Amino acid sequence: MALPSTIFKATLQISDIDRQYYGEHQLTLARHPSETDERMMMRLFAFALHADEMLNFTKGLCADDEPDLWQKSLTGEIALWVDVGLPDERRLRKACGRAARVCLYLYGGRAAELWWQRNADKLQRFANLRVVALAEAESKGLAGLVQRSMQLQCTIQDGEVWLNCDGQTLSLSPLVRKA
């Protein structure tokens, strides 16, 4: 019998000064049994950076042809495709063909660095792809915030991100590898 997903609830208040976006989102995150807290929080982090009423979590690890997050237009076209982790270059090529914009969030320390070194040249040809990396200490810090019910405040200014949960504040400096 397959293990069920674990459900997490998050109230996410966002003040994105860079985009002039201010909002509160009631989110339900299903963590697949094979998913780590770190990966789940990277999905939440990516949501905060792209927050919009039309942005949705997908089936994620359960579906090979869907990203972790996407934003579709009213006509059903994929306006934004967001993946987290170290995907295969072919997956990114396919995503760049299907979506107007594609964002990839790398994490994992040395493994992410090696992945980037192997794939950087191949990915330069995709004009609609943005690659952002988070340092290992920062992604581990995100994992340390996990609770079954979370109240998070996120402030984004000048590319820096501050995330507060229960009095604990993380300062995150995403590194743009490809704009």
pLDDT in tens, 71-86: 999 999 999 999 999 9
Helix (H) or strand (E) segment spanning residue 15: strand 6-16
| Residue 11 belongs to some domain of the structure | yes
| Residue 1 belongs to some domain of the structure | no
* Total number of domains in the chain: 1
| Residue 145 belongs to some domain of the structure | yes
Q: CB neighbours of 4 closer than 8 A, spacing ≥ 6?
A: 33
| Residue 65: predicted pLDDT | 76
| Residue 107 belongs to some domain of the structure | yes
How large is the average pLDDT for residues 26-47? 95
Phi then psi for 5, rounded to 5 degrees?
A: -70, 150
pLDDT tens-place string over residues 89-116 = 999 999 999 999 999 999 999 999 999 9
| Residue 59: predicted pLDDT | 77
The whole-angstrom separation of Cα 173 and Cα 2 is 37
| Residue 170 belongs to some domain of the structure | yes
pLDDT tens-place string over residues 114-139 = 999 999 999 999 999 999 999 999 99
Tokens of 134: 């988070």
More confident of the two residues 68 and 63: 68
CATH of the domain at 153: 3.10.640.10
| Residue 155 belongs to some domain of the structure | yes
pTM greater than the 0.85 cutoff: yes
The whole-angstrom separation of Cα 49 and Cα 51 is 6
| Residue 4: predicted pLDDT | 84
Domain range spanning residue 24? 6-178
Instruction: Say yes or no to pLDDT of 61 above 80.
Output: no
